[in-house]
Structure 1
């Protein structure tokens, strides 16, 4: 049952999306109401990413994918094979809007188990590096589908007053995958004197990833009613050509998104220095496992802090919250990079070969190093949460948000491809570190005009460019009993 009313709606999170007439629906009750609650569905998306990208992150965070030689992993990383993630990410929204999020999630998750299996193959047969490269290329395409669906749903399901909190929910559940995977790696390799993980780590990770196929339960967004009574209504376009054109429609109608491209480019760029050139270069395998564990644990707290307690702080207008979130991220960018620069001065790629004696958890010099990993985890989660929140503040339309997410993953993949390749060709650690610092600072500087000019206290219908396009196919209204 629906009624037409003015801007305000019943329920929590009453910042509504547009000025004018909006349809208000009664939310389902009982178990159906719990299952179709936006928070439940965002948590299910988080669980998918917990089992797939989360477990992959646990291995990546060990440095060199848990191997001794970081060069092979850098060459084989799915983000180092530029066409693999770049093109699927650029066109991922088209696949998403045609196939729907559930099919995208299902198809996309297969690549993660394949890549982890390829790491196991190299442990058994050291000459199997080509298999890792091929698996990485496949994962690049699969990951684009997962992240496009994830980003669109995570930003579309909450009301405007809940977006930071919902992003925090997702990021917390997603990073539990990194925490669990890191704990497995740390425990199974605690007594290892080798500088790489054992086969059991890869087997357990692969099994956990494969189990996700039994649990993908994400339903279609047109069944979702937000907590304020408004319905999430995605758009289906009549052809692939129209979907491709929507990329340019989004840029033409909302060119401010271009100012976020540097932030997108830098959003995974810093991983290479953190994981390979810091964690992988300085520490033995059990210490790398512990560093990885605290890094992903810190992400849970960082995302929820900035999402719930800053970006969704209701005592302030949305523009004020945006400036506050931007300021906190900038402070963290410069604080952790100054700290990192102090450490980077003490070693080079030549002074720390793979066979060198590494820092152990029992060394007296270790505590400050692990604290840097904790602060890097906080920065990463706050960076990603803020980027998603800014996109979500520009629109509530899932189709348009899918386009934005496609841009996000496209430039994120391009940045990662560049830096992983630089690491693979043995560029000096300091060069990679300085480029990381410059790019993260530039990303925040370019984002400032968008925050200052484009961001509004409420999203208006004029911002829903793709929603308002003529000649598009809408899904039919579905009554909710």
Structure 2
């Protein structure tokens, strides 16, 4: 199959990732902007309800994300993304309603709906960033999605900052800000409907599809889910996945309590901006052409993010002690013009870099374990579900008013365990390449050409030709039960070769 590289194709892996990034810009990006303001964007007195809402949200998110890999294999990314997109505007509307009326039922219900639905959305997004790129581009695809999501959060934070720049009191955001956020989120559903395509129809620039897709069944999906839960590699990575997003709850609670609204908005805007910068820098590490070894690239990424995580935790320990944070009972409404603002601001920004960069490194290592799409769908559900469980724990702890130093100690411990687990999986389970050893994955043409005469054989070349032929037929007509039998037979032959 020939592809004109000069013609825009929505079904290229990169363009599918860009479309998914635009959807993330509109949905979780705006959500993170509001969460980053603390108290769900409301008054400091709203923090308790916001934390309770988020605890419900992330608890359901964890459960649904763990199941979402099976859902995506059954329904495909497009339907999954459309369904998953609905929860975000409901959630923002609930927070708006509570801030204006004081009634908590709507935000609690909205949080539950978002938790159920966004687990599907974000697992579908992770599936695209894991399964569509070549091995050499996985850092780019993962970082690109995070950068675009952070860009949405930055724009949302900028809107809130501009609306609140002169507000020195500890109050909630305006009706106009909520309205703009809901409008942006609602429009994103159209992107999924018109531009997300079937994975079977995704074609690389070399004209090859990414894989053969077998017709899934619910029973097979549940079996694959069970295997993922028992996968020792994922069990070792559990602490790292659990702590990925936990800092957001802790630092957002500090932001809501300690600062006035305009300073909260400034902090939030800078917090989101660093999440654009950090993944961008990690692309040059994780996908570096100068460092041939994939394990070495991953190790450098772990060292960078591990050092930042440990350093930021130590810095926050010191700040909590210096300002006697535990003894402060009412919001001091600190402004950026106050003399003791810079120290906590730097720590806050460091946690923003960690929130983004640590996730990118964890997901890169996870995606390096395989290129097989259906397995990566389950891995996507596991990482999103487990990181959401961490967020749930973090918000529950915050809602129960556990001292901040206790929350920090929990996260510090998980970072230490997580870093050790990342190194273990990286050096004992990540291969330099997974190409030619997975029967359904189609090897990129340039990889085949580079390895022929080294690792490759005529049988492998024939196997790749057969797989591409099957994938082309699937893209043209879909997989029927009869074709599925044929796929099973031919892929078994490929595996024997």
Per the normalisation by structure 2, the TM-score is 0.84
Q: What runs of 5+ residues in structure 2 fail to find an aligned partner?
A: 443-462, 464-469, 478-497
Report matched runs for 1:234-253 at 5 Å: 235-250=213-228
- Quick one: distance in 1 between partners of 2:362 and 2:48? 30
Partner of 1:124: 100
Q: Structure 2 residue aligned with 1:161, among 104, 121, 136?
A: 136
- 1:34-49 alignment runs, 5 A limit: 34-49=9-24
Larger displacement relative to structure 2 (205-214 or 173-182): 205-214
Instruction: String of CA shifts for 1:300-324, please: whole Å, max 9, x gaps.
Output: 1100111x21011112111111111
Pairing 1:428–2:425 present: no
Secondary structure of 1:65's counterpart equals helix
| Correspondent of 1:225 among 190, 199, 203 | 203
Aligned to 2:257: 281
Aligned equivalents of 2:161, 2:439: Cα separation in 1: 47
Q: 1:109 aligns with which of 79, 82, 85?
A: 85
Q: Distance in 2 between matches of 1:351 and 1:115?
A: 33
- Work out whether residues 112 and 209 of structure 1, in 8 Å CA contact, stay in contact via their aligned partners in 2: yes
Report SS of the residue matched to 2:368: helix
**Cα distance in 1 between the residues matched to 2:312 and 2:296:** 25
Deviation string, structure 1 residues 99-156 (Cα, Å, up to 9, x no partner):
1101111111110000000111012211x21211111011001111111110011111
Which consecutive residues of structure 1, in runs of 5 or more, have no partner in the other structure? Answer: 2-25
The question of whether the paired residues in 2 share the 8 Å contact of 1:333 and 1:441 is answered with no
Aligned residue in 2 for 1:385: 360
More helix by share: 2
**Counterpart contact for 1:322–1:451, Cα < 8 Å:** yes
Does the alignment pair 1:396 with 2:396? no
SS in 2 for 1:35: coil
2:275 is aligned with 1:260: no
**Could you tell me how far apart the structure 2 residues matched to 1:475 and 1:231 are?**
7
Counterparts in 2 of 1:135 and 1:379: CA distance versus 1, 3 Å? same
CA distance, structure 1, for counterparts of residue 96 and residue 249 of structure 2: 21
Q: Does 1:292 align with 2:243?
A: no
In 2: Cα distance, 1:89 partner to 1:141 partner: 8
CA contact (8 A) 2:63 2:385 kept: yes
Which region of structure 1 is more displaced relative to structure 2, 358-367 or 283-292? 358-367
Work out whether residues 247 and 351 of structure 2, in 8 Å CA contact, stay in contact via their aligned partners in 1: no
Which of 170, 173, 197 aligns to 2:173? It is: 197
Partner of 1:75: 52
Residues 434, 424 of structure 1: alpha-carbon distance in 2 compared, 3 angstrom cutoff:
same
Please identify the structure whose Cα radius of gyration is greater: 2
> Contact 1:250–1:465 (CA<8 Å) still a contact in 2?
no
- Between 1:175-184 and 1:458-467, the stretch displaced more is 458-467
Match for residue 178 of structure 1 among 147, 150, 153: 153
TM-score by length of 1: 0.87
Select 2:286's aligned residue among 286, 302, 311. 311
Once the two structures are superposed, residues 230-256 of structure 1 have per-residue CA deviations (whole angstroms, 9 ceiling, x without a partner) of 42236354421221111123456x532
**1:466 CA drift (Å):** 10
**Alpha-carbon spacing, 1:180–1:410, altered in 2? closer, same or farther (3 Å):** same
Query: Are 2:76 and 1:100 aligned?
Result: yes
Q: Distance in 2 between matches of 1:453 and 1:228?
A: 32
Corresponding residue of 1:21:
none
Q: Which residue of 1 aligns with 2:351?
A: 376
Measure how far apart 1:475 and its partner are: 8.9
Contact in 2 for aligned 1:102/1:218 (Cα 8 Å): yes
- Partners of 1:478 and 1:80 in 2: how far apart? 40
Q: Deviations over 1:384-413 (max 9, x none)?
A: 111111122111122111100111122112
Is the 1:234–1:397 contact (alpha carbons within 8 Å) kept by the matching residues of 2? Answer: no
SS of the equivalent of 2:327 reads coil
Q: 1:475 to 1:75 in 2, by over 3 A?
A: farther
CA deviation string 1:59-91 (max 9, x = no partner): 0001111222211111111x4456522321111
| Separation in 2, partners of 1:357, 1:374 | 20
> In structure 1, how many angstroms separate the alpha carbons of the residues matched to 2:216 and 2:189?
30
Check 1:321–1:392 CA distance in 2 against 1; reply closer, same or farther (3 A cut): same
Q: What is the root-mean-square deviation of aligned Cα atoms in Å?
A: 2.3
> Judging changes above 3 Å, is the alpha-carbon distance between structure 1 residues 29 and 447 closer, same or farther for their aligned structure 2 residues?
closer
Report whether the alignment pairs 1:412 with 2:390: no
Q: CA deviation at 1:328?
A: 0.9
Shift in alpha-carbon separation, 1:244–1:461, aligned structure 2, 3 A: farther
Q: Over residues 208-239 of structure 1, what are the superposed CA-to-partner deviations in whole Å (9 max), with x where a residue is unaligned?
A: 11111232221112222234554223635442
Counterpart contact for 2:147–2:279, Cα < 8 Å: yes
